[in-house]
């Protein structure tokens, strides 16, 4: 994966899916208006957004927005089209096998799958053209269009008025993160969670970074008129930082309520490889592979909580929210320590750390990241004390995605030019390869690759 790269961080990211959701392109809403009164919150269906005068122009020639958003959403060849395939995937053998192991009937009808692979709003909220088979349709992200479908393209429409009528303000990084995380980690909906059970049944592992994933599915331009319409322009670095804080908040908030149903918290919160590794105490060649981690003070043999977002946040906080950084650091260590000692105390520590993560999300959302700060975060993340914390797969793969996003931020902020960024690419690609396969992950290799990226950027000036 990576910007402009065909391959995934993680192999499964690019599993080619040629199938496109067959969508009968309905005539435009201009020609066939829906009654609007009392329809606030109703999900009208993707077909309602289609039409060559609306969002399915063959080319991006719209005056205000591209107007070919639907074509991008349906792109059969790229990650940008993944959401249109999300339901279709449930009808395929891999999903059937998962559903069979879970004994939940056909995947394409199971609430346990539809929660994230479609837009399963209640029956009363489905408009005449709503189809579950549209997968993750426009309104799964932008919100039910019943209240604004007729007014949002009219003369005098404003972003604020659209939002008032129920459009979700996805330009705001906190709001966007919250929406994406519902499916790309877990939400409050009963079935919105990729539990360890789901993974044990064959579901792919989830990996998410707000800015990178936004670019991969991007169907909008941030241009003069975008800002003239008073939409928030967050930029890559802020989007990344807010995304990290929101992800940690979400993880810790779900950590309490989401249990396996048995004696243990859901294993999905912990480093997978800490349990899933081969060992044979009879084998003279066998050596323990767990490494000491200065940011995670737990005894050998205790399952380590996935700290990928914590490491990112700690590096961002030191530079952009120093007033919160110390507290965040102490609370993170306390949380890890409590987990290895006492479940009840750990839950309380999780709540405290979640509150600090929320404060960090707010602080980052208000903050303007300067070039110097982006460079400092970049170096801080990939080298020095922080780099010693990449002892497991998820942390290292978040760091690689962060390197990609921050490099892009440095270009956006004019700190380095495109040609210089291109010279860093081979090192970044090496870092991506170091985290391609969780089963062949060697922490030292990943750290060396990340360090090489940091050194290359340092040498650019």
Return the number of the residue (205 or 351) whose C-beta is nearest ligand HEC: 205
250 binds ligand HEC (CB under 6 A): no
Among 129, 174, 179, 336, binds ligand HEC (CB under 6 A): 179
Kindly state the number of chain residues that form the binding site for ligand HEC, as judged by CB under 6 A. 74
Rounded Cα distance between 215 and 81, Å, is 12
Site for ligand HEC in 325-354 (CB under 6 A): none
Nearer to ligand HEC, 259 or 276 (CB): 276
Cβ proximity to ligand HEC: between 17 and 340 the closer is 17
| Interface segment toward ligand HEC; rule CB under 6 A; list 134-142, 340-348, 382-390, 417-425 | 134-142
Q: Which is nearer to ligand HEC, 218 or 442 (CB)?
A: 218
For ligand HEC, the binding residue among 176, 250, 349, 447 (CB under 6 A) is 176
In the window 272-311, what residues touch ligand HEC (CB under 6 A)?
Answer: 272, 274-276, 303
Contact between 164 and 73 under an 8 Å Cβ cutoff? The reply is no
Whether 421 and 457 have beta carbons less than 8 Å apart is answered as no
Q: Report yes or no: 383 and 454 within 8 Å, Cβ to Cβ.
A: yes
At its nearest, how many Å lie between ligand HEC and the CB of residue 79?
A: 4
CB half-sphere exposure, 349, CA atoms < 13 A: 21
Separation between Cα atoms, residue 209 and residue 405, nearest integer Å: 9
Which of positions 190-219 make contact with ligand HEC (CB under 6 A)? 191-194, 196, 198-200, 203-207, 213-214, 216-217, 219
**Is 180 a residue that touches ligand HEC (CB under 6 A)?**
yes
Which positions from 101 through 120 interact with ligand HEC, judged by CB under 6 A?
A: 102, 107, 110, 112-113, 115-117
Smallest gap from residue 48 Cβ to ligand HEC (A): 9
Determine which residue in the list 23, 29, 51, 83 makes contact with ligand HEC, applying CB under 6 A: 83
Member of 255, 270, 305, 378 binding ligand HEC (CB under 6 A)? 270
Closest approach, Cβ 401 to ligand HEC, in A, equals: 11
Q: How many CA atoms lie within 13 A of 43 on its CB side?
A: 25
Cα(424)–Cα(344) distance, rounded to whole angstroms?
Answer: 46
CB of 169 to ligand HEC, least distance (A): 7
Residues 49-78 close enough to bind ligand HEC by CB under 6 A: 49, 55, 65, 69-70, 73
Instruction: Output b/e per residue, 149-187; b: 16+ Cβ within 10 A.
Output: bbebbeeebebeebbebbbbbbbbbbbbbbbbbbbbbbb
- Minimum Å distance from CB 109 to ligand HEC? 10
In whole angstroms, how close is the CB of 180 to ligand HEC at the nearest point?
Answer: 3
Please name which of 287, 306, 414 lies closest in space to residue 350, comparing C-alpha atoms: 306
* d(C-alpha 444, C-alpha 84), whole Å: 39
Minimum CB distance to ligand HEC, residue 340 (Å): 12
Site residues for ligand HEC, 360-399, by CB under 6 A, read none
User: Does residue 67 come out as left (phi exceeding 0), alpha (psi in the -120 to 50 range) or beta?
Assistant: left
Q: Which is nearer to ligand HEC, 352 or 412 (CB)?
A: 412
Closest by CA position to 125, among listed 62, 188, 185, 39: 39
- Length of the chain, please? 461
CB of 452 to ligand HEC, least distance (A): 26
11, 12, 341, 440: which one contacts ligand HEC (CB under 6 A)? Answer: 12
Taking CB under 6 A as the binding criterion, the range among 84-92, 286-294, 324-332, 342-350 that sits at the site for ligand HEC is 84-92
Sign, CA torsion 400/401/407/409: negative
Neighbour count for residue 128 (Cβ, 10 Å) = 10
Residue 26 as a binder of ligand HEC (CB under 6 A): the answer is no
Binding residues among 389-448 for ligand HEC as defined by CB under 6 A: none
- Residue 63 tokens, joined: 């005056």
| Sequence-distant contacts of 420-429: CB under 8 A, at least 24 apart | 420/460, 423/456, 423/460, 424/453, 424/456, 424/457, 424/460, 427/452, 427/453, 427/456, 428/2, 428/400, 428/403, 428/404, 428/453, 429/2, 429/5
Q: Which of 79, 429, 445, 455 binds ligand HEC (CB under 6 A)?
A: 79
CB of 332 to ligand HEC, least distance (A): 19
State in angstroms the smallest separation of the CB of 355 from ligand HEC: 24
Shortest CA distance to 199 belongs to which of 257, 109, 118, 270?
270
Burial label, 17 (beta-carbon count in 10 A; 0-12, 13-18, 19+): middle
Could you say which residues in the range 136-165 bind ligand HEC, by CB under 6 A?
Answer: 136-138, 140-142
Residues 6+ apart with CB under 8 A from 151: 36, 157, 161, 162, 165
Residue 403 CA to residue 409 CA, distance in Å, equals 10
């Amino acid at each position: 994966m990576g910007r402009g790269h065909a391959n995934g961080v993680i192999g499964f990211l690019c599993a080619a899916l040629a199938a496109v959701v067959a969508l009968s392109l309905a005539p435009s809403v201009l020609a066939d208006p829906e009654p609007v009164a009392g329809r606030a919150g109703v999900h009208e269906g993707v077909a309602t957004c289609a039409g060559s005068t609306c969002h399915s122009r063959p080319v991006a020639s719209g005056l205000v927005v591209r107007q070919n958003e639907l074509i991008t959403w349906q792109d059969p060849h790229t990650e940008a089209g993944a959401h249109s395939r999300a339901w279709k995937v449930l009808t395929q053998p891999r999903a059937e096998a998962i559903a069979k192991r879970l004994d939940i009937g056909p995947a394409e009808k199971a609430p346990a799958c539809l929660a994230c692979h479609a837009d399963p709003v209640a029956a009363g909220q489905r408009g005449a053209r709503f189809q579950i088979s549209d997968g993750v349709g426009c309104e799964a992200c932008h919100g039910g269009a019943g209240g604004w479908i007729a007014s949002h393209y009219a003369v005098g429409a404003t972003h604020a008025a659209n939002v008032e009528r129920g459009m979700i303000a996805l330009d705001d990084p906190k709001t966007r993160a919250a929406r994406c995380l519902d499916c790309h980690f877990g939400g409050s909906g009963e079935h919105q969670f990729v539990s360890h059970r789901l993974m044990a049944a064959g579901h792919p592992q989830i990996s998410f970074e707000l800015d990178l994933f936004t670019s991969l599915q991007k169907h909008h331009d941030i241009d003069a008129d975008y800002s003239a319409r008073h939409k928030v322009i967050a930029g890559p670095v802020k989007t990344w930082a807010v995304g990290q804080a929101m992800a940690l908040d979400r993880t810790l908030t779900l950590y309490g309520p989401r249990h396996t149903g048995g004696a243990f918290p859901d294993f999905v919160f912990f480093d997978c490889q800490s349990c899933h590794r081969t060992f044979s105490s009879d084998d003279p060649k066998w050596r323990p592979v767990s490494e000491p981690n200065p940011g995670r003070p737990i005894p050998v043999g205790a399952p380590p909580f996935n700290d990928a977002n914590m490491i990112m946040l700690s590096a961002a906080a030191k530079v952009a929210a120093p007033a919160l950084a110390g507290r965040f650091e102490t609370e993170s260590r306390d949380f890890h320590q409590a987990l290895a000692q006492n479940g009840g105390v750990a839950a309380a520590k999780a709540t405290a750390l979640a509150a600090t993560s929320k404060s960090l999300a707010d602080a980052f959302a208000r903050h303007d990241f300067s070039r110097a700060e982006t460079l400092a975060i970049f170096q801080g993340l990939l080298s020095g004390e922080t780099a010693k914390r990449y002892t497991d797969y998820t942390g290292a793969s978040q760091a690689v995605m962060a390197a990609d996003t921050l490099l892009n931020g440095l270009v956006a902020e004019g700190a380095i030019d495109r040609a210089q960024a291109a010279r860093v690419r081979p090192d970044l690609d090496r870092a991506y390869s170091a985290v391609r396969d969780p089963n062949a992950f060697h922490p030292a290799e990943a750290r060396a690759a990340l360090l090489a990226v940091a050194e290359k950027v340092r040498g650019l000036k």
